C-alpha cells in the first residue's frame, strides 16, 4: 500500500471519473452526515454542483492512485487575489485512510504549486470530527463557519503548513 501515484485530473475525462469520485465521497460522508436521499439522488445533486466548478481553471483536482486503483481525490482552488490555497475536498477510500497517503499527497502538492501562497483555508462539516482534527493538526485554526452554518471555516499560514511536510 505504500506505492502511491498522484495525477492532475484531465478535465476532458471528468464524465468517466465523477461516478467513481462520488462513490468515494458517499462512502465517507453518508455515515457522518446522511442526507436521507437515495444514492442516485445524492449523486445527481452533487453532479449538478460539481460539473461546472470542476472545469474552472483556478480549480484543480488531484487523483490519488494505489497501483491502478483510484483511492482518493483532492480538490483545491487557488485564489490569486488573496494568495490563498483553499482545500475544497479531500476524500480517501476508508481502507487507505491512516496509511500516510494524505502526507504523501501534501508533499507532492507542495512541489507542484507555484506562485506566492500566504494562507491555507478549508471548511469542515461540523459533524466531521476527523476532518476538523486533521485541519488543526495541519496548523489551521477555526475562524468561523460557512454561510449556512453546516461547516466550520479554518485558516492557517502556508509556510507553517509546508513545514509539517518538509521536515521529514
Instruction: Indicate if the pLDDT at residue 129 is higher than 90.
Output: yes
Would you state the pLDDT for residue 73? 97
In angstroms, the CA 1 to CA 85 distance is: 28
pTM beyond 0.95, yes or no:
no
Percent of the chain with pLDDT over 90: 82
Q: Which of 147, 138, 145 is nearest to 165 (CA)?
A: 138
Provide the pLDDT for residue 124. Answer: 95
Confidence check: pLDDT of 35 > 70: yes
pLDDT, tens digit, 9 for 90 and up, residues 142-155 = 999 999 999 999 99
The pLDDT value recorded for residue 77 is: 94
Amino acid at each position: 500500500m505504500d506505492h502511491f501515484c498522484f495525477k492532475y485530473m484531465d478535465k476532458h475525462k471528468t464524465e468517466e471519473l465523477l461516478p467513481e469520485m462520488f462513490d468515494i465521497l458517499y462512502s465517507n460522508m453518508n455515515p457522518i452526515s446522511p442526507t436521507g436521499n437515495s444514492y442516485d439522488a445524492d449523486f445527481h445533486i452533487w453532479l449538478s454542483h460539481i460539473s461546472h466548478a470542476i472545469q474552472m481553471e483556478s480549480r484543480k483536482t488531484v487523483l490519488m492512485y494505489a497501483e491502478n486503483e483510484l483511492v482518493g481525490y483532492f480538490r483545491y482552488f487557488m485564489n490569486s487575489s488573496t494568495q490563498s490555497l483553499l482545500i475544497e475536498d479531500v476524500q480517501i477510500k476508508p481502507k487507505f485512510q491512516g496509511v500516510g497517503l494524505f502526507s504523501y499527497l501534501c508533499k507532492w502538492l507542495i512541489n507542484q504549486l507555484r506562485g506566492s501562497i500566504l494562507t491555507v483555508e478549508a471548511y469542515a462539516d461540523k459533524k466531521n470530527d476527523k476532518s476538523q482534527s486533521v485541519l488543526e493538526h495541519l496548523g489551521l485554526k477555526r475562524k468561523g463557519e460557512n454561510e449556512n452554518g453546516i461547516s466550520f471555516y479554518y485558516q492557517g499560514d502556508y509556510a507553517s503548513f509546508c513545514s509539517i511536510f518538509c521536515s521529514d
